[in-house]
Amino acid sequence: MHISFVGAGYVGLVSAVLFSHLGYKVISIDSDEKKITNLKNAIIPIYEPGLEKYLKTAIDENTIEFHNNHIKQNVDIVFIAVGTPSLDSGEADLSYVYNATLEAAMSCSKDTLIVIKSTVPPGSCNKLKAFLKSHGYENEVASNPEFLREGSAIEDFLNPDRIIIGTSSTKASDLLEEIYRPLTNNGIDLIKTDTNTAELIKYASNSFLATKIGFINEMANLCEVLDADIDLLSKGMGSDKRIGSDFLKAGPGFGGSCFPKDILALSYIASDKNQKCEILDAVISSNKNRKEYIVNRVINVLGSIEKKKIAILGITFKAFTDDVRHSPAVEIAKSLQDKGANIYIYDPEGMKNASNILEASFCSSPYHAAENASAILILTEWDEFKKMDYALLANILEEKIIFDFRNILDEKEVKKHGLRYYKIGQRSYF
């Protein structure tokens, strides 16, 4: 089977490379010429552990081609995997999806199935099909949302919890079932549904996970005033199989290119249909306030931060990525700067991206950032930070304070070296 991907962003590139690994001939198309030239030379534009190895193999075995415009495509399926950024209203901007879908229909045959992988509001596949028809194209349009996480996308693609297919066409359903057979043969669940439900499953899943995080972050705030321990609370709750332990880790708030955008979009979708979704709105507001809550925690301990040097360790929205989009760490850094602090940042992968959106001092190591700083703030859960030399930090930090907003350090070990240690969801703030 021959397939193509329009959009070599995060989802499109990972999926294209891994479909070629599953044995298909894949074409990857993107309008960014530089990106395509780099990809032809196995240079990937994102940090994703393991992806480069799979890409090199696909190039060597000639199972993937990269193009920067719509070549005439003789393919069975075109996957649309372009961005759906937020408009000011929170609504998803579907202009890239519409353009890509029309161009795809123009460059392939009427029998080619067009599959929307981009996150789009319920009703979009049906509207896209009607839109194509109004331009004289009869292609079927199906939904197949993706659930890849940055940093573990390879494992998530090859071993997903489920595959969702949304279509009312038997032919489209059979084709999608066939393409996923290498995974379903290994026992992966494939759930078939209509397009609207498939589209909603994606938004509802991301919004539910964001809700879990919002909930546990508010429980962390409660732990702080009730003298309880958030990590043990998460463990105690998460051991109940009905609750589950995943996405119950308190932190500085959820970020990235998906959760903030998708929960806003779902809230917009609901209000557009005059439906109340009060939980979503509460989560959006709770996550927005979370960053200021963290900043206030720092000020409670340090007093005035005017002209104080503060070291931020971890600027990406989570570990194992170089992505800083909607990163809580970036927002916290900006807020501390607004209040007069001098910010010094170290991150193993995210500094290049962060330097495009943040004016701060970028440092070559945690120690470089911490030298003569009043405090260290850990904002991303990189493994490297778990193995720091605390004796050295105690020597070079001016006020010997570590705020661990990911609760990743060994408290006893840190305190042994005379450092003051503050973590999330514990009484010590008061």
Number of alpha carbons in the 13 Å side-chain half-sphere of residue 9: 16
Rounded least distance, CB 92 to ligand UGA, Å: 12
Residues 135-154 close enough to bind ligand UGA by CB under 6 A? 146-150
Token look-up 């198309």 returns 29
Rounded least distance, CB 308 to ligand UGA, Å: 26
Binds ligand UGA (CB under 6 A): choice among 258, 264, 283, 305 = 258
E strands along 7-166, which residues? 25-29, 64-67, 77-80, 113-116, 141-143, 162-166
Contact status: 325 vs ligand UGA (CB under 6 A) = no
Contact status: 317 vs ligand UGA (CB under 6 A) = yes
CA-closest candidate to residue 384, choices 367, 405, 401: 367
108 in active site? no
* C-alpha–C-alpha distance, residues 14 and 46, integer Å: 10
**Which distant-in-sequence residues (6+ apart) come within 8 Å of 11 by Cβ?**
81, 117, 118, 146, 148
E strands along 207-332, which residues? 309-313
Contact status: 12 vs ligand UGA (CB under 6 A) = no
Q: Which stretch binds ligand UGA (CB under 6 A): 30-38, 244-252, 268-276, 300-308?
A: 244-252
**Which distant-in-sequence residues (6+ apart) come within 8 Å of 219 by Cβ?**
230, 233, 234, 250, 425
Binds ligand UGA (CB under 6 A): choice among 248, 343, 379, 393 = 248
Instruction: Classify 418 as helix, strand or coil.
Output: coil
> Which tokens sit at 4?
């193509």
CB 201 within 8 A of CB 125: no
Interface pattern 98-137 for ligand UGA (x via CB under 6 A) = ---------------------x------------------
| CB closer to ligand UGA out of 215 and 390 | 215
Catalytically annotated residue among 108, 223, 258, 363? 258
Contact status: 247 vs ligand UGA (CB under 6 A) = yes
Rounded least distance, CB 16 to ligand UGA, Å: 15
Interface pattern 210-229 for ligand UGA (x via CB under 6 A) = ---x----------------
Binding site for ligand UGA (CB under 6 A): 119, 146-150, 206, 209, 213, 247-249, 251, 254-256, 258-259, 317-318
Residues recognised as catalytic: 258
